[in-house]
Amino acid sequence: MERWLYEPVLRTALAEDLGRAGDLTSEAVVPDHATGTGLVKARQPGTIAGLAISCDAFSLLDPATNVEILVSEGATVETGAVLARVSGRLRALLGAERVCLNLLGHLSGIATATRALVQAVAGTDARVACTRKTTPGLRALEKYAVRIGGGINHRFGLDDAILVKDNHLVVAGGAKEAVARVRARVGHLVKVEVEVENLDQLEDAIEAGVDAVLLDNMDLANLRRAVELVGGRVITEASGGIRPETIAAVAATGVSVISVGWLTHSAPSLDVAFDLENS
């Protein structure tokens, strides 16, 4: 990921942590000239995402800091794995430690959860996607972590694809009118998807000429029937309440995509640590 995309996030997080007076504890305990080396470690197994991005927090506090990345992006690691070695002024290392670990743990947690879901649907044609249910200000990073975990991204925002949802259908009076309005407004390269809650709405959406249908909160029987009715004419996306223990059954219905909101809003962080080496 290009640095200009994530550097503002790191700068905001560092400013939030260091506040108006800096790191009071380190400035009292650690001599200004003291240097050392710390290790970024995994405290549990998982998939690593955003390691170099997160470690840039150290360099932003002190450009003279040396960061050595020891595992590749997307690597699966075991408990105790050393992920990076960071050397430089100790005040900078300690001042950026929590920002680095918070972001690394969050992104790696998303990647770890995504990889587990991707493995759960292996052998089917279904692909695992995230949604727009992201942390404000962190969407690009969270969607990046999903890709590192083997998933795909749904639309990034309201401006890069059309998704006609239930409230749009209420306003327009149905899928046909909503899609007609959309087609009259957007260019030919913009994909159009319509959210449907039942098979009658599905038929209306297909007749309206959509590119994809979002099958919202349908049970397995209706998902299978929806896939049969579509017959490969459009992309089928299952969404709503999908969990690790249910995703394999959803994939077995034959849907093209399974979108999972909790990947970005509720995936548990991976436990990571930063430990100074004894000098």
Could you identify the residue written with the tokens 């200004």? 32
What gap in Å lies between CA 267 and CA 269, rounded to an integer?
A: 6
Looking at residue 278, its pLDDT comes to 79
Q: CB of 24 within 8 A of CB of 254?
A: no
Structural domain that includes position 90: 3-111+268-276
Q: What is the CA radius of gyration of the chain?
A: 23
- The amino acid present at 250, given as its one-letter code, is V
Task: Indicate the number of domains in the chain.
Answer: 2
Q: Are residues 147 and 184 in the same domain?
A: yes
Residues with Cβ within 8 Å of residue 219, at least 6 apart in sequence = none
The domain that holds 208 is classified in CATH as 3.20.20.70
So which residues are the catalytic ones?
Answer: 98, 133, 165, 195, 216
pLDDT of residue 259: 98
The count of other CB atoms within 10 Å of the CB of residue 266 is 12
Does residue 155 sit in helix, strand or coil?
Answer: coil
**Of the candidates 241, 202, 244, 245, the residue with the CA atom closest to the CA atom of residue 222:** 202
CB-CB contact of 147 with 153 (8 Å): yes
Q: Are 279 and 250 in contact (CB under 8 A)?
A: no
d(C-alpha 168, C-alpha 177), whole Å: 10
Look at residue 222 and give its three-state secondary structure.
helix
pLDDT tens series, the chain, 279 aa? 899 999 999 999 999 999 989 999 999 999 999 999 999 999 999 999 999 999 999 999 999 999 999 999 999 999 999 999 999 999 999 999 999 999 999 999 999 999 999 999 999 999 999 999 999 999 999 999 999 999 999 999 999 999 999 999 999 999 999 999 999 999 999 999 999 999 999 999 999 999 999 999 999 999 999 999 999 999 999 999 899 999 999 999 999 999 999 999 999 999 999 999 975
Residues 43 and 134 in one domain: no
Both 149 and 107 in one domain: the answer is: no
Question: Which residue has tokens 């290392």?
Answer: 93
Structure tokens at 107: 């992104």
Taking the C-alpha atoms of 52, 276, 62 and 47 in order, what is their torsion angle to the nearest 10 degrees?
Answer: 10
Say how many residues make up the chain: 279
Neighbouring CB atoms inside 10 A of 57's CB total: 29
Do residue 142 and residue 234 come from a single domain? yes
Instruction: Compute CA distances 69 → 1, 14, 112, 186, 228, whole Å.
Output: 15, 21, 19, 44, 48
pLDDT given at position 279: 55
Could you tell me the pTM of the whole model?
0.95
CATH code of the domain covering residue 38: 3.90.1170.20
Same domain, 175 and 47: no
